[in-house]
Amino acid sequence: MRYLWACLAFFAAFTLNVLPNYAAGKKNHKGLTINYLIFQDTTRIKIVSLKDSLQKDSLEQIRKKTLYNKLSGGIQKDTRDLALFPAISLQQNLKGNFAGLYVQEPSGEPGSMQNMFIRGAAMPLLSKKDLYDAQPLVVLDGIPLVREHPFAFDIQQFDFNRIGPATNLLAGIDMNNIASVEVLKDLASTSVYGPRGVNGVIVLTSKTAVGRYRAISFNSYIGMVQKPFVNTINGKYENSFRQRFYDVYTTNGRYSDDEEYPVYLSDSLNNVYSGKSDWTDLYYKNALVYGINFSLAGGTDRANFRFALGNTKSEGVADETGIDRYSATFNINMKPTKWLLFSTMINANRLNRDRNKTLRDRFAQLNYFPDLSAPLPPNKDFYGSYLQQYKKGFDDNKTNSIQGYAKLEGIFGQFKVVSSFNADYSEGYRDVFYARTLLQGNSYASNYYGFSQRLMMDNKVTYDLNLNKVHDFHFALGQSMQWDIYKYSNAYAYKGVNDYIKINLLDSKPKNDDGTDNGGYLTPVAFPRELTYRFLDKTEDNLLSFYGKADYSFSDKYFLSAILRLDGSSNAQPTSRWFYSPTISAAWNLKNEFLKSNSLVDDLVLRASVGRMGRTFSYDNYTQGPQYTASVGYTGNLTVPGYNAFGVLTRPYQFGWVGYGVPWSYSDQFNIGADVAMLKNRLHVSVDLYSKTDKNQLIGIPAYAEYGYKQAIESGMSVNNMGIDFTVSAQVIAKSKFSWNSAVNFNHNANELKALPRGLDQLVVSNRFLKVGQPVDQYWLLENNGIYTSDADVPTVNGQKLKYKGIVLKAGDPRWKDQNGDNTIDDNDKVLKGHSLPTLSGGFDNNFKYGNWSLGTSFYFNLGRKLINQEMANRFDFVNREGNTDINSVKEITFWEKRGDYSKYPLYNPWSTVIPYRADQDLFLENASFLKLRQVSLGYELGNLLNKKNIKINKFFVYGAVSNIFTITPYTGQDPELVSYDGVDTGYGQPIPRTYTLGVKMEL
């Protein structure tokens, strides 16, 4: 009988050309009991006994996965196609590939931060803290990865970038080492990850060796990023642009004596500003990208391993930016006895990042603004001299990260005991020095060191029970402990003795422990002690969890699962330390129930889940009660001041009042879905309808001003996200020589604010207006209906002209709509419009194959999304942004680049005190929908030809690809993707470049 099974399996593998490296035989009533394995490597087929082998363990996971797929809507992705895209970050790899996953890429600068949202944002994105709380959990081989904590923003005046290297930690994921990617969205699949996974979970599974398989793989690509074509301008163009306003609103078309015209524009014969505008020769460039990954895998039935090394270099297209990644990964599985399995994995990365040189980010780091009366010149020679002064200093950004686990798995009959220890550690360094020639004689030095650490102990016991081959039970009891630590030390100083001493301020020690001068220290002291500032902070978060899970299936028709969690967080208040989270999910296999003999339908499953999951607080502040943080000091940073080494309190307290009795936040989620396979599995459709409501969330309410507080942090905010995920994939053509596979996915999501603390109906937070019953991602804007061409056009009511906050509107002012008819334009006339998050997003992929040739295309789209073109508002509001010493007056070198459509904006009076070109009006609200052709790839499989010539090789795939080919959009700005988390295009995002790559994927 065994010989017969082997022959049948050999025939199936030969005729179907099975893609995986193994095929299995001897099905039971579920088609899942495996007694042998056929191993295929294109040159030979081996029959390997599965008794006590590692292959049996891997195939047991397939059996468990089948039940899991019936109950959840998790979508798995083959990473072979993803690895063709020359991405440096995980976010870039996943963009447009999963329904319900929205990726936001605010800048094309390699290694910069990027955002992900699964099924919308659970809260209004009012700050980088909210952005952090809305991110999904990323799990690598069971290790829940940490992200850079935003608590460092507490000492920053601006939240452009976090202090330190601010490098995207998910840029440490090498897709060549990943076997599969799953995006888990409903509680049926995410509940096992607990409160960390309340925003959804992205599961990455690393490649491992299988049994006696020995393999060497080599993956590499090299390419070029193409510099963009831009329209440059100079002082002459800027003068012409401004002259239009002077012609209309000034006497004789000239500026008045009491208003000084910018000096850098006043001399049209000055070649520094009015001559050649060739700065782009130094700013934009064609740059190199490459990647290389080498791996070795092998082993026996009882032990196997995989080791991989990689290096990826991704240079930016602008400002000499780039990132260099060195990675190493190693995993090993050993089965010394039939009942014990030991596994371990280590993944290590080094990221070296060259950051941008933008003035805004530099001044925000310095907390110091020099004279801004003249911007950088557009002339290459003069701009080049500035760069030379910049190169006298340095800006070194380094990040090290390591993840690993050690796992023991014991099998005792139907019992299985799994115990694992996981660790994730990352540390960042940033060393900065700016020469005095850049800062009006004041040199600057800064040093940063910080780390994020997560340790996790996980224990689980499972029991499988099958009754009469009809009732299948799976029980699990689990317990996990997580310890998180985030810490940083930051120091900076001004006015060094010269530009040659570039000292590390974190390690400097001008005084001995006894207070005497350190004779071995630099003399004189490199930086004055009174101009040296040091900051350090640390936050910890512990999570202890217990859970029980029961799965049941009946005759492979009905499936039921229930899980109950008990989670305790150190960030919760003592009165609400623990939270119970129940989840129930069910599935009905309609194929086996009604359509067993139907040849048209291969699989048809209905599934549903409902449950509740706790949401932990990211800050330990909330568990401590009232907070005291004041804004004092020369730099204006948020610090707790001291007097003679004693801590003191100075109102106002910036963070706000935190009372007692703050309960856990939590998320109630409901999901119903269906999965269909038809036409001999050539057509697959998956659809999910979902609703998730995040309740008891915290938000600041203006309160206690008489006691010096700005706000009270209170519980009670609730936000609902409701929508649909849809995925369809089809083998449109399946001929022997030609095939065409197509797949499309999309997500439609709508959010609504359900409640605010204290039963409030509305709340104003900075420039945001939150109203119950309305979406939380809308803009709060004045409606613009044109321009008043004369004073007589301004409406008059009872002899009173229409006013803007008490200022009478005149000719040249905007026609803002008086929504409430009170003859005054103010915040009460603002309306909620647009959405900063897309209402419809997704991707569309096609893969064609003819013989050994393959062609792939990938589209990505966003619809129903709008953004504020802040860059264009700044361009027209030149009067209020000229010559001031603040962040709003900073002009980058890209100021000399023409972007947008100037003709669509009315010619307002820029000197009007109503500030007609303010950004909080729908004049600058633009449709940011787009369709992008992200990639076209063409490849050829040489392995078959080489095998015919007796060259023993499994795979030799060569390919060429073009990425970011074109964008179709009504948006008039630079790129509709280059927008910050709040939906504002500031113009600071570097272009996402078009990239040309040539690559090879080889397996021996």
Question: What is the per-residue DSSP string for 911-948?
Answer: T-TT-TT-SSBGGGEEE--EEEEEEEEEEEE-HHHHHH
* pLDDT class of 670 with cuts at 50, 70, 90: very high
**759 contact partners, CB below 8 Å, separation of at least 6:** 716
| CB 126 within 8 Å of CB 120 | no
The span from the CA of 40 to the CA of 599, in Å, is 30
Instruction: Name the pLDDT band for 168 (thresholds 50, 70, 90).
Output: very high
Q: Identify the weakest region by mean pLDDT among 33-42, 62-71, 513-522.
A: 33-42
If DSSP codes are grouped into helix, strand and coil, which group holds residue 792? helix
Rounded mean pLDDT of 417-444? 95
108 and 992 Cβ atoms separated by less than 8 Å: yes
Q: What per-residue confidence (pLDDT) applies to 650?
A: 54
pLDDT score recorded for residue 344? 96
Q: How far apart are CA 813 and CA 569, in angstroms?
A: 55
Cβ-contact 646, 654 below 8 angstroms? no
User: What is the pLDDT averaged over residues 745-760?
Assistant: 97
Cα 137 to Cα 151: distance, rounded to the nearest angstrom: 18
Supply the pLDDT for residue 710: 82
Q: Is the pLDDT of residue 104 over 80?
A: yes
Question: Which run of H or E residues covers position 7?
Answer: helix 2-16
- Separation between Cα atoms, residue 933 and residue 900, nearest integer Å: 22
DSSP letter for 782, please.
Answer: B
Task: Report the relative pairing of strands 137-140 and 201-206 from DSSP bridges.
Answer: parallel
Cβ distance 100 to 116 under 8 Å?
A: no
Higher pLDDT, 595 or 39: 595
The highest-confidence range among 254-268, 755-769, 880-894, by mean pLDDT, is 755-769
pLDDT at 183: 94
- Rounded distance between C-alpha atoms, residue 395 and residue 810, angstroms: 50
Computed over every residue of the chain, the mean pLDDT equals: 87
> Model confidence over 945-976: pLDDT tens digits?
766 666 678 889 999 999 999 999 999 999 99
Res. 310: pLDDT tops 70: yes
Q: What is the mean pLDDT of residues 357-364?
A: 93
Percentage of residues of the chain with pLDDT beyond 70: 87
Q: Which residues contact 157 (CB under 8 A, 6 or more apart)?
A: 364, 367, 636, 637
A 10 A CB-CB count for 871 gives 22
Which tens digits make up the pLDDT trace of 904-952? 999 999 999 999 999 999 999 999 999 999 999 999 998 777 666 666 7
Q: What is the mean pLDDT of residues 881-885?
A: 84
Average of pLDDT values for 424-434?
97
pLDDT at 664 over 90: yes
Residue 64, pLDDT > 80, answer: no
pLDDT in tens, 806-859: 999 999 999 999 999 999 999 999 999 999 999 999 999 999 999 999 999 999
pLDDT at residue number 35: 35
**Residue 887 confidence (pLDDT) above 70:** yes
DSSP per-residue string spanning 160-187: SS-SS----GGGG--GGGEEEEEEE-SH
The answer on pLDDT for 900 being more than 50 is yes
Q: Give dist(CA 800, CA 190) in Å, integer.
A: 61
Contact call for residues 990 and 107 (beta carbons, < 8 A) = yes
User: Could you tell me the pLDDT band of residue 525, with boundaries at 50, 70 and 90?
Assistant: confident
Cis preceding-peptide flag for 976 (omega within 30 of 0): no
What are the sequence ranges of the domains in the chain? 1-50, 232-284+839-1003, 783-829
Convert the pLDDT of each residue in 186-216 to its tens digit: 999 999 999 999 999 999 999 988 766 688 9
Quick one: average pLDDT of 710-724? 94
**pLDDT exceeds 60 at position 144:** yes
Residue 863 three-state SS: strand
- Residues 689, 575: Cα–Cα separation, whole Å: 36
Kindly tell me if the per-residue pLDDT of 649 is higher than 80.
no
Among 49-53, 271-275, 473-477, the least confident range: 49-53
Length of the chain equals 1004
Better-scored residue on pLDDT, 127 or 503: 127
DSSP code for 489: E
608: pLDDT confidence band, cut at 50, 70 and 90? very high
Contacts of 290 (CB under 8 A, 6+ apart): 220, 221, 222, 223, 312, 313
Query: Is pLDDT of 332 > 90?
Result: yes
Distance CA 635, CA 96 (A): 43
**pLDDT > 80? residue 577:** yes
